[in-house]
Homo-oligomer: A and B are copies of this chain.
């Protein structure tokens, strides 16, 4: 098998050029046209072999897809559409050349629906495989989504379902867990882990809700509706807590409103399923905070793929509550989420 140490840097670059547009290759940097009067949004994300991915659960295409998706999801969480990415790769001499090509294929496939080019990068030798992607996007300044934009008495809207990615990972690590599931349920959970979708589709719907004739009949560009938000890459609980802290608000989350895939309850207890939904992470869904009328409008427009899970408060506590009265109130905590060190 052809390895990185067997070919020259130029030879490797030649193989990877087919994933990049012709006109932006070969200079010290890449040049991208920007739209006037929009802000640039930049985000970066690094994956290290053995820590953030492993051959046991993730093919090179999936590593590529997931790292692309993580970056586009960060842009979506700011309200920005992507305009390009760069890839910095650290490769060992023993890395198979096909591994690198498959990685690029996965990134390319993830970006394609959004017409987002790979515009450049850097490839260096390293004792450990490392992938660092930087993505740039553009946002209309008045539509920028910030963690700190949440106001008390806002609705907290989540897209998609939560806990699916964690369940998919568990199924890959322990296939015997999935005996009670149908084949469709199994592959849907595994796909949620391997091929998460950045929720850029939500932005257009969100802007429709915020603009002219939507709720009050008139859009006020000088006093735009503030949207708080982030993605749930580190878990739903983490997202809610980070947003509340940045905005200095509290929250009451209704445990029965958290959208959990039905198949999860066939896999584990409902308590465990809720735990995965809150703390599992990597679902890459959006968690948005906006005035109730707009929140309701948004959920109506998105349909079954979104839900209002709670309300922000002007208290400091972030509580998981049970309107059915079975469980006592519970504090959401950060400590059960993913720790980087």
Name A residues whose Cβ lies closer than 8 Å to a Cβ of B. 4-5, 7-9, 12, 26-34, 36-48, 50-52, 73-75, 77-78, 80, 83-84, 86-90, 93, 119-128, 130, 132, 134-137, 139, 144, 146-148, 230-231, 246, 339-341
Contact = CB atoms under 8 A, between A and B. Distances in A.
Nearest to A29: B43
Contact of A30 (B42, B73, B90, B119): B42
B26 A43 contact: no
Contact of A128 (B4, B36, B126): B126
Contacts of A134: 42, 44, 86, 88, 134
A43 B30 contact: yes
A230 B28 contact: yes
A127 B48 CA distance: 9
Q: Tell me which of A8, A43, A230 has the highest count of chain B C-beta atoms within 10 A of its own C-beta.
A: A43
B26 A34 contact: no
A167 to B, nearest CB: 24
A7 to B, nearest CB: 8
| 10 shortest interchain CB distances as A-B pairs | A36-B36, A29-B43, A28-B74, A134-B134, A88-B132, A28-B77, A132-B132, A32-B40, A44-B86, A48-B126
Contacts of A47: 124
Contact of A136 (B26, B40, B127): B40
A26 B248 CA distance: 13
B93 A341 contact: yes
A148 B46 contact: no
Contact of A27 (B28, B30, B31, B147): B147
A300 to B, nearest CB: 26
A39 B32 contact: yes
9 contacts: A12-B341, A27-B78, A27-B148, A42-B119, A44-B120, A46-B88, A48-B90, A88-B134, A93-B341
Contacts of A36: 36-37
